[in-house]
């Protein structure tokens, strides 16, 4: 940029002044929050106001850098500085606690290298319409997680927490009593399946996942009271899914897939299911006006090559795979959620 001619008047544009308006570190807020979460600073501040030295000692960090970091955390909204100089937790900081259900795993996963490095190639993904993950890592995001267990755990935690509400509302509103064998396809660590099985004492469940995620589920469910009713099955849903189910749950899986793979997965479910069985699809739905889902949609583009869809697009995929009686499932309390809940019948 060429400097403006110096005519004695104050410059019209003040880059230093603009810094306060357009915080150029906005992109780094996620990384800040990941650091806050990894250091477990919110757990410490949740106990009450703390000096920076107290926080540093509690989390095992260098006192001088913690003093600097906490001041910056105020700028990024994760902590607040009281008049006596001690720090307290903001509402945003609460979301990063490890000792209560929170978005901590989500924040760590989406700001971890597995996702951030592909995001560095956002412009390329938009230019080409292709996911950047394979270019960066040489494998897809799920294989990356198979190779990076810590990030995989944070990712699984984020899937768990984002499933709690849908699982609760579905288990209350949907008639599960008619099913005997419920297969959760790509069911992560079983939050949805275990909630559903509580409502269906007659049914057995199958949690179908990639091999490394099955092992995460095995650990997470080891002490679960419903463990004996759950088969843990490893495989690739693009090859085949467990047979004989009369209900297939497919939650937040289709949006990770491009149309051809989504069609393959649904065809595999249809082939595996017993006649007159049901498939319940729960997934991100595009709203008429741009919303938070559009940001998720770009996440799908960059990371997996999938996409969020309109209800009509989900229905089109289901009917294309051979499903009939496709209808929205009303979930009282879930109306404002940006998720489609669609039931389909395998004829
Ligand atoms: C976005 S997560 C959704 C998890 C869970 N259904 C939920 O709603 O929380 C997608 C899941 O699909 C699993 N997955 C991805 N590709 C798969 C494949 N080829 N075969 C089986 N599972 C797969 C992933 O391991 C991941 O847990």
Q: What is the pLDDT of residues 26-82, one digit of tens each?
A: 778 899 999 999 999 999 999 999 999 999 999 999 999 999 999 999 998 999 999
Angle at 68 between CA 65 and CA 74, to 5 degrees: 135
Sign of torsion over alpha carbons 299, 302, 303, 307: positive
Instruction: Summarize pLDDT for 143-184 with one digit per residue, the tens.
Output: 999 999 999 999 999 999 999 989 999 999 999 999 999 999
Distance (angstroms) between ligand 1 centre and the Cα of 142 equals 8
List, in order of start, the domains of the chain with CATH numbers: 22-94 (1.10.10.10), 104-157 (no CATH), 161-346 (3.40.50.150)
Beta carbons within 8 Å of 124's beta carbon, 6+ residues apart: 132, 135
In this predicted structure, the answer to whether residue 3 has a pLDDT above a threshold of 60 is no
pTM of the predicted protein model: 0.92
The protein residue with its alpha carbon nearest to ligand 1, atom 20, reads 236
Distance (angstroms) between ligand 1 centre and the Cα of 269 equals 14
Distance (angstroms) between ligand 1 centre and the Cα of 187 equals 6
Distance (angstroms) between ligand 1 centre and the Cα of 253 equals 6
Sign of torsion over alpha carbons 340, 343, 346, 347: negative
Atom of ligand 1 nearest to the CA of 145: 25
The protein residue with its alpha carbon nearest to ligand 1, atom 3, reads 252
Q: Bridge-partner residues for 243, per DSSP?
A: none
Q: Cβ(174) to ligand 1 under 6 A?
A: no
């Amino acid at each position: 940029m060429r400097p403006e001619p110096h005519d004695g008047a104050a410059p019209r544009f003040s880059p230093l002044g603009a810094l306060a308006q357009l915080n150029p570190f906005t992109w780094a807020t996620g990384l800040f929050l990941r650091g806050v979460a990894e250091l477990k600073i919110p757990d410490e501040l949740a106990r009450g106001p703390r000096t920076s030295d107290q926080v540093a000692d509690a989390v095992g960090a260098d006192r001088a850098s913690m003093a600097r970091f906490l001041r910056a955390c105020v700028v990024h909204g994760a902590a607040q500085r009281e008049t006596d100089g001690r720090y307290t937790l903001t509402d945003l900081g609460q979301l990063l606690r490890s000792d209560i259900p929170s978005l901590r795993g989500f924040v760590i996963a989406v700001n971890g290298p597995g996702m951030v490095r592909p995001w560095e190639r956002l412009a390329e993904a938009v230019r080409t319409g292709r996911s950047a993950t394979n270019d960066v890592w040489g494998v897809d995001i799920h294989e990356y997680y198979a190779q990076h267990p810590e990030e995989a755990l944070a990712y699984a935690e984020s899937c768990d927490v984002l499933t709690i509400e849908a699982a609760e509302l579905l288990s209350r509103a949907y008639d599960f009593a008619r099913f005997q064998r419920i297969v959760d396809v790509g069911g992560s660590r079983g939050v949805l399946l275990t909630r559903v099985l509580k409502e269906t004492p007659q049914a057995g469940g199958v949690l179908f996942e990639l091999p490394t995620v099955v092992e995460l589920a095995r650990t997470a469910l080891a002490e679960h009271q419903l463990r004996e009713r759950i088969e843990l099955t490893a495989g690739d849903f693009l090859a085949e899914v467990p047979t004989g189910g009369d209900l297939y749950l497919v939650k937040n899986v289709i949006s990770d897939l491009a149309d051809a793979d989504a069609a393959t997965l649904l065809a595999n479910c249809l082939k595996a299911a017993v006649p007159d069985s049901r498939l319940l699809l729960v997934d991100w739905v595009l709203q008429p006006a741009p919303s938070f889902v559009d940001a998720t949609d770009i996440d799908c583009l960059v990371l997996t090559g999938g996409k969020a869809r309109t209800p009509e697009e989900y229905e089109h995929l289901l009917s294309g795979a051979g499903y009939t009686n496709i209808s929205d499932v009303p979930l009282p309390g879930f109306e404002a959620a940006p998720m489609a809940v669609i039931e389909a019948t395998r004829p």
